[in-house]
Amino acid sequence: GGAMAAKRGALIVLEGVDKAGKTTQCNKLVQALQQSGRPAEMMRFPDRTTTIGQLISSYLEKRTELEDHAVHLLFSANRWELVPSMKRKLEQGITLVVDRYAFSGVAFTSVKPGFCLDWCMKPDVGLPKPDLVMFLQLSSAEAARRGHFGEERYETSDFQKAVQQKFEQLMKDESVNWQVIDASQDVESVHLDIVGHSHGAIRLAQDVPLGELWK
Ligand code: Z5A
């Protein structure tokens, strides 16, 4: 008996290569959900505000060098350290809109020499499983038209192409609810696609417990 449990929020992830519009679209989605009366918050990985996140940020800005396995584990640790707060929020009925997640972790490390997908996935096994992962699909030619790549590590056309192929491998996994979004459309059209998929995911998530990723 007792009081009825509150409906949980959904865990919604946006993935995609550099300049696909993830941050733009995460912000717009959170705004739209809030305006329709649904509690929603944005998160991003890496979260550069924590102690671990500061190590990662320094690495990405090429201010420090870190061994490739070590930095992979730091990216994963940066997700795990936020899991208690993510679970709390989801239980409170807050939908989390997340800019990059474990899929970026695997895609970016696994293109490095000597790494395989399987090893890269292991540290993230058991993370809160997203109810929906939207992959913002953008060709490298279209990404190039959105301006120059930045100065950070990994921001080169060849690296991004290799990463795209790793994402394609990850998207074959049917245990994850993937939706491919055409990110070459204008900002509003991409937004409408994303809102449509998100409402469906929020509705479905209400009645099923949060899953465990890759488990
Ligand atoms: N990384 C990793 O190695 N391991 C991990 O576990 C994780 C990440 C989680 C940091 O990422 C790096 O860490 C990243 C992966 C790696 N390396 N790379 N590359 P980050 O999240 O801090 O930064 P970012 O992901 O590189 O941001 P971004 O990809 O460059 O941007 P975006 O979020 O996809 O796009 P945006 O900022 O929304 O838009 C980019 C530009 O395009 C901007 O000028 C917009 O105004 C414009 N834009 C957006 N949408 C459109 C449309 N529809 N049409 C035209 N123009 C548009």
Residue with tokens 């800019």: 99
Q: Which residues line ligand 1 (CB under 6 A)?
A: 16, 18-24, 44-46, 60, 75, 99-100, 104-105, 108, 146, 154-155, 186-187, 190
pLDDT at 4: 59
C-alpha 7 – ligand 1 centre gap (Å): 32
CATH 3.40.50.720 fits 11-210, yes or no: no
CA–CA distance, 22 with 49 (Å, rounded to integer): 19
Structure confidence at residue 1 (pLDDT): 41
Radius of gyration of the chain (CA): 17
Can you read off the two tokens belonging to residue 92? 């409170």
Residue by residue, pLDDT tens for the chain (215 residues) are 445 567 999 999 999 988 999 999 999 999 999 999 999 999 999 999 999 999 999 999 999 999 999 999 999 999 999 999 999 999 999 999 999 999 999 999 999 999 999 999 999 999 999 999 999 999 988 988 998 888 999 999 899 999 999 999 999 999 999 999 999 999 999 999 999 999 999 999 999 999 999 99
Domain residues of the chain, as ranges?
Answer: 11-210
